Homo-oligomer: A and B are copies of this chain.
Amino acid sequence: MLGQHFATRINSFASGAHAYWPDLGGKPTVAQMVARAATVDGLTELDLNYPDHIGAAPAEIATMVNGEGLALSGLAMRYYTNPAFKRGAFTNPDPAVRREAIELTKRGIDATREMGASMMTLWLGQDGWDYNFQCDYPALWAHEIEGIAAVAEHDPDCRISIEYKPDEPRARSILPDAATTLIAIDEVGAPNLGVTIDVAHALYAGETPAFAAAMVQRRSQLFGLHLNDGYGKRDDGMMVASVHEQATMELLREVRRGGFDGAIYFDTFPDASGLDPVSECAANIRTVRRMLAAIEAMDGDNALADAQGRHDPVAAQEVARLALARATAES
């Protein structure tokens, strides 16, 4: 059931490190950040990045995470180990670098399984272009499809979830939105492929997150849900529903309706502005719980369905707003 599993971004727990660990010399270790994350009431899971957080010892990291009372949702690839990845991972102009990206991903999938998890998130942020005339688009697309196919077939029991994003670090991503990602998944055709929706990414892709979720659930599978918020221009990494309350609650209702019961992951950046990551994460959990309570209450009568049958936003938004206000006031 949605709302049983909450995960978050581990790097958030480097925020205000020197106040939290007064004796800390450099950066906190992964174990230190995990221990700090474990103090968040209600947090059940973590996603870690491969290879950054894992290194050569996946099993030990898994033991450490579990020892803190947390489960591992899965791993997420990061293509930073070779500076050549700046020009592309699966779409790099150099075939050797493309092979290296694919091999690294396969090793990440192996690490995922070794850690007892079964989902690898692919954010292919390096795959795209910056300039007009820089790339041959049909060739670029073919490389992206080849790369996804190669890693999807590596271990059919590991779900591969593609997290799209409009831009950054590249000025233009090859997988910028849900629809393009669904086309890529359709072309690869592997049953273990699915999509991760990140709210801030969806907003600055110009999407309505709930519509994106509906399309993902119709055409593929929703494997990951990253909640956060932003002003719709970049990946602001703000607290859940701090800007777009109605859009966030609508998204939660749509994924619940589609049967999604995975972890709700908070992809926020409290470290970017020096917030306390523990209270920030607790606030996100509290917000989601209020929304889920409101959604459950709304499902009890037909008011929303009636309003939607007429496409009537005056009635529909009032139903949602009242339900959330009541759930919040009572919480």
Contacts and interface: CB of A to CB of B under 8 A. Distances in A.
Q: Which 5 A-B pairs have the closest CB atoms?
A: A179-B179, A325-B328, A131-B313, A137-B214, A132-B246
Interface string A105-139: 00000000000000000000000011111111110
Interface string A239-256: 100111111011000100
A216 to B, nearest CB: 11
Most chain B CB inside 10 Å of its own CB: which residue of A83, A133, A276, A325? A133
A304 interface: yes
B86 A272 contact: yes
Nearest to A14: B83
Interface in A73-99: 83-84, 86-88, 92-93
B234 A232 contact: no
B179 A131 contact: no
A12 to B, nearest CB: 13
A92 B247 CA distance: 22
Given A18-B83, A134-B316, A329-B330, 6 more contacts: A131-B246, A133-B308, A133-B313, A174-B211, A183-B219, A244-B244
A247 B275 CA distance: 20
B84 A314 contact: no
B134 A311 contact: yes
A25 interface: no
Interface string A306-318: 0111111110111
Contacts of A208: 129, 132, 172
A304 B129 contact: no
A100 to B, nearest CB: 14
Interface in A287-331: 304-305, 307-314, 316-322, 324-326, 328-330
Interface in A167-183: 167-172, 174, 176-177, 179-180, 182-183
A156 interface: no
Nearest to A327: B325
Nearest to A315: B279
A173 to B, nearest CB: 10
Nearest to A142: B218
B244 A86 contact: no
Nearest to A324: B325
A280 interface: yes
Contacts of A247: 132, 243
Contacts of A236: 130, 171
A21 interface: no
A135 to B, nearest CB: 6
A318 B283 CA distance: 8
A43 interface: no
B238 A309 contact: no
A230 interface: yes
7 contacts: A132-B208, A132-B242, A133-B316, A134-B317, A275-B312, A324-B325, A328-B329
Contacts of A279: 314
